[in-house]
Amino acid sequence: MATESVKYVAPETDTKTSSKVFPRPGQNTTGIVNWLTTIDHKKIGLMYGLASLSFLLIGGLEALLIRTQLWSHNMEVLSNRQYNQMFTMHGTTMVFLVIMPMSAAFFNYLMPLQIGARDVAFPRMNTLSLWCFIAGGIILNLSWFFTGGAPAIGWFGYAPLTDNRFAEVLMDMGPDFWIFSLQVLGIASLLASFNFITTIINMRAPGMTMMRMPLFTWMTLFVSFLLILALPAIAIALAELMFDRSYGTNFFDFLEGGKPHLWQHLFWIFGHPEVYILILPAMGIVSEIIPVFSRKPLFGYGLIVFSGAIIGFMGFAVWSHHMFTTGMGIVATSAFSILTMLIAIPTGVKIFNWIGTMWGGRIRFDPPMLFALGFITMFMIGGFTGIMHSSVPIDAQHQDTYFVVAHFHYVLIGGALFGLFAGFYFWLPKITGKMMNKSLGKFVFTLMFIGFNLTFFPMHYLGMIGQPRRTHTYNLGHGFETWNQIATIGSFILGIGVFIGFLQFVHSFCSKKLKPAGKNPWDARTLEWTLSSPVKEHNFARTPIIKARDQAWENNYGPPENHSEKVPLDDHGVHMPDRSWTPLLSGIGLLTMVLGLLFHLSLDQSGEVVRDYTVAIVGGVIFILGVILWAVEGGGGYHLFPKEEDE
Amino acid sequence: MSDAATHALDHHEPPTSTGIPNKKVLMWAFLGSDCMFFGTLISTHLIYRKISATVNGTPLDIRNIFDIELTSFSTFILLASSLFMALAVSAIHKGNLTGTRWMLFGTVVFGTIFLACQVYEFTHFVYLEGHELTLSTYQGEAHVFGSTFYVLTGTHGTHVAIGVFWLIGWLLYSFTGRMTTADAIDIECCGLYWHFVDIVWIIIFPVVYLMEYAF
pLDDT at residue B13, as a whole number: 56
Architecture of domain B22-214: Up-down Bundle (1.20)
For helices B145-173 and B97-127, angle between their N-to-C axes, nearest 10 degrees: 160
Closest Cβ–Cβ partner in A228, A237, A575 for B33: A228
Amino acid making up residue A542: R
Closest Cβ–Cβ partner in A193, A257, A269 for B144: A257
Residue A20: band (very low, low, confident or very high) from pLDDT cuts 50, 70, 90: low
* In the predicted structure, residue A339 carries a pLDDT above the cut 90: yes
B47 in contact with A, Cβ within 8 Å? yes
Tell me if residue A575 falls in helix, strand or coil: strand
Contacts of A284 (CB under 8 A, 6+ apart): A215, A216, A217, A218, A219, A220, A308
Among residues 83-102 of chain B, which lie with CB inside 8 Å of chain A?
none
Give A-chain residues touching B136 at CB under 8 angstroms.
247-250, 256
Distance separating alpha carbons of residues B74 and A331, to the nearest angstrom:
42
Residue A344: band (very low, low, confident or very high) from pLDDT cuts 50, 70, 90: very high
Question: Which is higher by pLDDT, A642 or A289?
Answer: A289
Element (H, E) at A609: strand A609-611
Q: Mean pLDDT in chain A? A: 92
**Rounded mean pLDDT, A150-176:** 91
| pLDDT tens digits, A44-96 | 999 999 999 999 999 999 999 999 999 999 999 999 999 999 999 999 999 99
Contact B147 A243 (CB under 8 A): yes
Neighbours of A637 (CB within 10 A): 19
Give B-chain residues touching A121 at CB under 8 angstroms.
22, 25-26
Question: Which is higher by pLDDT, A144 or A606?
Answer: A144
Percentage of chain A beyond pLDDT 90 is 84
Domain segments of chain A as ranges: 1-31+569-647, 362-516
What is the separation of C-alpha A441 from the centre of its chain, rounded to a whole number of angstroms?
A: 22
pLDDT at residue A23, as a whole number: 74
Give B-chain residues touching A230 at CB under 8 angstroms.
36
CA angle (B197, B201, B202) in 5-degree steps: 115
Distances (CA, A) of A29 to A11, A96, A501, A580, A636: 18, 32, 32, 11, 15
| Chain A residue at shortest CA distance from B8 | A13
Nearest-CA neighbor of A367 among A298, A299, A283, A292?
A292
Distances (CA, A) of A551 to A272, A403, A431, A556, A602: 35, 44, 19, 9, 61
| Chain A residue at shortest CA distance from B53 | A257
Contact B26 A233 (CB under 8 A): no
Distance separating alpha carbons of residues A200 and A287, to the nearest angstrom:
18
Instruction: State if pTM tops 0.90.
Output: yes
Burial bucket for residue A183 (CB in 10 Å: 0-12, 13-18, 19+): buried
What sign results for the dihedral spanned by CA atoms A467, A470, A476, A481? positive
Question: Which is higher by pLDDT, A17 or A374?
Answer: A374
Neighbours of A414 (CB within 10 A): 24
Residue A205: band (very low, low, confident or very high) from pLDDT cuts 50, 70, 90: very high
Interface pTM, i.e. ipTM: 0.92
Distances (CA, A) of B1 to A333, A539, B6, B90: 56, 33, 7, 11
pLDDT at residue A11, as a whole number: 42
What sign results for the dihedral spanned by CA atoms A448, A449, A450, A455? positive
Distance separating alpha carbons of residues B215 and A601, to the nearest angstrom:
41
| pLDDT tens digits, A393-412 | 999 999 999 999 999 999 99
Closest Cβ–Cβ partner in A121, A237, A250 for B142: A250
* In the predicted structure, residue A220 carries a pLDDT above the cut 80: yes
**Rounded mean pLDDT, A470-490:** 95
Evaluate whether A105 touches A192 at the Cβ level (below 8 Å).
no
Contact B39 A248 (CB under 8 A): no
Length of chain B (residues):
215
Which backbone phi and psi does A517 adopt, to 5 degrees? -85, -30
**Residue numbers in chain B where pLDDT is lower than 70:** 1-14, 53
| pLDDT tens digits, A290-337 | 999 999 999 999 999 999 999 999 999 999 999 999 989 999 999 999
Domain segments of chain B as ranges: 22-214
Residue A3: band (very low, low, confident or very high) from pLDDT cuts 50, 70, 90: very low
| Eight-class DSSP state of A159 | T
pLDDT at residue A438, as a whole number: 96
Question: Which is higher by pLDDT, A75 or A603?
Answer: A75
Residue A646: band (very low, low, confident or very high) from pLDDT cuts 50, 70, 90: confident
Evaluate whether A377 touches A418 at the Cβ level (below 8 Å).
no
Q: From the CA of B19, how many Å to the nearest CA of chain A?
A: 8
Distance separating alpha carbons of residues A501 and A428, to the nearest angstrom:
12
| pLDDT tens digits, A22-34 | 678 877 788 899 9
Best mean pLDDT range from A164-168, A573-577, B89-93 = B89-93
